[in-house]
């Protein structure tokens, strides 16, 4: 899959306006504002079993998604950062 | 949210932040969902979500995922996915509740005022529109017994049920979500078309336009448009019907700070400057 960068933007007093009209300090197509244009990878599909996730939690403890959730339904978010 | 807890759903959120940065965030905001740390983006890569539009030496941005959300059932099967091209649009809590709990939680009976006519109702699934948070404009249509409305695409000369929003620069809308339809064949010709019976719910995801939310003179946004449909039975089609709607929805200011950077004063994260600097240094090796 070739992934294209969304770079359409308009400069404003406060930063940059993207093609949807959202304004931010970074110009679209740069750093944290590197959004894809058109199709982009979204990982496993609906209907597939969620791959296991093994990493650490905020306490530094080992984490295993399916072991932790047991037989509960779950919402799993991939987000960019809690720092910026 | 209470509805998610009632459904027994667990909530997890993973980022490329260090564990102690997540801990600071958790303590500052009293979050109860589990925050997960993937500082080398191993999980992010394993899922194929690494944002490869960012150069590997562009620190500290390299390593972030294309953000998105999966909803899993009790067996661990993915039932819904929410991914957006624009980082300024995030899945709303109501949308997640509907995905986890199914539609039934929000189903309210529509009073059938005239048993032979369809009844329509359009409303926002949520109380307001804050910046960046997506919510659904919902259209419910009740189709009388023995009748159907056409799904999209409708046969030539008939009208498919659809929800259209008037142009509004303050609203960013996404593609209309239609319910599954059923095949229906016409007795005379045997032609088959897709239709809906009973109760039809259309969802149009909308987000308030981030750059235009700070408008003190206009703290509400008007969502207006039209719901169109055509009811038929096996022999006769009614003339196409429509109902206009106009909703005044309160707008909330940006819930995220407009500044994205390492300055503690403007950042959502305590010790952001320290964490941000460390992210860069660690990646520069």
Judged against a pLDDT cut of 60, whether residue B212 lies above it is answered with no
User: Poorest-confidence range of A59-63, B157-161, B172-176, B271-275?
Assistant: B271-275
Question: Count of domains in chain A?
Answer: 1
Displacement of CA B88 from its chain's centroid (Å)? 12
Say if residues B91 and B134 touch (Cβ distance below 8 Å): yes
Token pair, residue B285, equals 């090796």
- Measure Cα distances from A78 to A54, B181, B212, B274 in Å: 14, 32, 27, 23
Give domain status of residue A79, yes or no. Answer: no
Among 3.50.50.60, 2.60.40.1250, 3.30.70.150, 2.60.40.1510, name the CATH number for the domain at B109-252: 2.60.40.1250
User: Poorest-confidence range of A61-65, B52-56, B105-109, B193-197?
Assistant: B105-109
Give domain status of residue A74, yes or no. Answer: no
Give the start-to-end residue ranges of the domains of chain B. Answer: 2-104, 109-252
Give domain status of residue A32, yes or no. Answer: yes
3-state secondary structure of B206: strand
Determine, for residues A25 and B172 on separate chains, whether the beta-carbon distance falls below 8 Å.
no
Judged against a pLDDT cut of 80, whether residue B113 lies above it is answered with no
Tell me which chain A residue has its CA closest to the CA of residue B99.
Answer: A75
Backbone φ and ψ for B61, nearest 5 degrees, come out as: -70, -35
Give domain status of residue A83, yes or no. Answer: no
| Mean pLDDT, rounded, for A52-63 | 96
Tell me the average pLDDT of chain B. Answer: 85
pLDDT digits (tens, 9 = 90+) for A16-41: 888 888 888 889 999 889 999 999 99
Tell me which chain A residue has its CA closest to the CA of residue B10.
Answer: A74
A36 chain-B contacts, CB cut-off 8 A = 51, 53, 66, 85
Say if residues B97 and B108 touch (Cβ distance below 8 Å): no
B93 chain-A contacts, CB cut-off 8 A = none
Report A:9-48 residues touching B (Cβ under 8 A).
12, 14-15, 17-18, 20-26, 31-38, 40-48
Kindly provide the residue ranges of all beta strands, DSSP E only, lying in chain A, ordered along the sequence.
4-5, 9-11, 16-18, 23-24, 36-37, 54-57, 62-64, 74-78
How would CATH label the architecture of B2-104? 3-Layer(aba) Sandwich (3.40)
pLDDT digits (tens, 9 = 90+) for B1-33: 677 888 889 999 999 999 999 999 998 888 889
Structural domain span for residue A41: 4-69
Judged against a pLDDT cut of 70, whether residue B279 lies above it is answered with yes
A67 chain-B contacts, CB cut-off 8 A = none
Give domain status of residue A61, yes or no. Answer: yes
| Rounded-to-integer distance, Cα B33 and Cα B128, Å | 23
Q: What is the ipTM of this complex?
A: 0.95
Tell me the range of A59-73, B119-133, B217-231 where mean pLDDT is highest: A59-73
Q: DSSP secondary-structure letter at B90?
A: B
Give domain status of residue A78, yes or no. Answer: no
Give domain status of residue A76, yes or no. Answer: no
B174 touches chain A (CB under 8 A): no
Residues contacting residue B190 through CB under 8 Å, at least 6 positions apart = none
Q: Which of B4, B5, B7, B14 to mutate to test the interface with A (most CBs of A within 10 A)?
A: B14
Give the pLDDT score at B116. 64
């Amino acid at each position: 899959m070739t992934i294209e960068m969304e770079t359409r933007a308009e400069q404003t007093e406060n930063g940059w306006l993207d093609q949807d009209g959202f304004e931010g300090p970074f110009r679209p197509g740069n750093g944290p504002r590197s959004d894809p244009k058109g199709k982009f990878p979204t990982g496993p599909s609906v209907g597939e079993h969620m791959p296991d996730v093994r990493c650490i939690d905020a306490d530094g403890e080992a984490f295993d998604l399916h072991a932790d959730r047991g037989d509960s339904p779950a919402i799993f978010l991939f987000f960019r950062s809690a720092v910026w | 949210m209470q509805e998610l807890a009632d459904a027994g759903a667990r909530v997890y959120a993973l980022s490329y932040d260090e564990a102690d940065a997540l801990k600071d965030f958790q303590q500052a905001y009293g979050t109860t969902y589990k925050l997960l740390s993937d500082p080398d983006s191993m999980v992010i890569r394993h899922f194929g979500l690494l944002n490869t539009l960012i150069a590997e030496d562009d620190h500290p941005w390299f390593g972030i995922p294309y953000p998105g959300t999966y909803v899993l059932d009790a067996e661990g099967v993915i039932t819904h996915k929410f991914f957006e091209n624009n980082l300024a649009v995030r899945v709303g809590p109501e949308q997640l509740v509907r995905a986890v709990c199914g539609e039934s939680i929000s189903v309210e009976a529509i009073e059938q005022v005239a048993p032979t006519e369809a009844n329509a109702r359009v409303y926002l699934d949520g109380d307001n529109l804050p910046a960046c948070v997506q919510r659904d404009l919902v259209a419910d249509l009740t189709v009388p017994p023995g009748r159907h409305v056409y799904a999209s695409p409708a046969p030539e000369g008939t009208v498919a049920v659809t929800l259209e929003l008037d142009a509004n620069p303050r609203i960013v809308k996404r593609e209309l979500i239609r319910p599954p339809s059923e095949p229906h064949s016409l007795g005379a010709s045997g032609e088959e078309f897709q239709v809906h019976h009973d109760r039809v719910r259309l969802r149009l995801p909308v987000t308030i336009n981030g750059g235009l939310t700070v408008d003190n003179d206009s703290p509400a946004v008007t969502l207006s448009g039209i719901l169109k449909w055509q009811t038929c039975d096996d022999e006769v089609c009614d003339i196409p019907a429509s109902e206009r709607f106009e909703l005044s929805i309160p707008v909330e200011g940006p819930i995220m700070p407009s500044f994205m950077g390492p300055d503690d004063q403007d950042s959502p994260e305590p010790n952001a400057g320290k964490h941000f600097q460390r992210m860069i240094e660690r990646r520069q090796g």
